[in-house]
Amino acid sequence: LVDVGEVVRSAIERAGKAFPGQPVTTSLARDLPYMRCDANLLEQVLFNLLDNAQKYGGGGRAIVHARPEGASVLVSVTDEGPGIKPADLERVFEKFYRGGRADGRRAGTGLGLSISRGLIEAMGGKIWAESPAVKRRGARIVVSMPAVEAREIAKAAS
């Protein structure tokens, strides 16, 4: 059972060491349910998303948001960059696909989102891209993982 808030904080701390100039804002809903997944793999996915926000976000802040929705927990990372073209919203998850950085240069190896999708789907979740995200700009990558019901937590504790 994974505490989403702890994983988010750990990923942000790691990103802060790797990208000390990137501001990150968090918005975590109160009473987030636990998720059944691998905490280390989820942290790696969130780090990959923060890495993308740093590369493609145009120097703006990254926003990490987590909230319950139905039987799932949604965790998203949003940047304030130029966004992703509608035709590329699915392509960004292909191996070796690289979009242009905010300054027009290509960045990275094009594997981060492909690996992230593989990890999330292997843990029973979904991941997708949305753009524009905020004020007709930016990109948002959303991870949806099944929430653990309270009775499952009680059963695991006994």
pLDDT tens profile 68-86: 999 999 999 999 988 888 8
Nearest C-alpha neighbor of 2 from the set 140, 133, 120: 120
Name the H helices within 19-149.
Answer: 39-56, 112-122
Query: Which helix (H) or strand (E) element contains residue 78?
Result: strand 72-78
Task: Tell whether the model's pLDDT for residue 67 goes beyond 90.
Answer: yes
Task: Tell whether the model's pLDDT for residue 101 goes beyond 70.
Answer: no
pTM reported for the whole predicted model:
0.86
Cis, peptide link before residue 132, omega less than 30° from 0: yes
Task: Tell whether the model's pLDDT for residue 119 goes beyond 70.
Answer: yes
Mean pLDDT of 23-46: 95
Task: Tell whether the model's pLDDT for residue 43 goes beyond 60.
Answer: yes
User: What local confidence, expressed as pLDDT, does residue 137 receive?
Assistant: 84
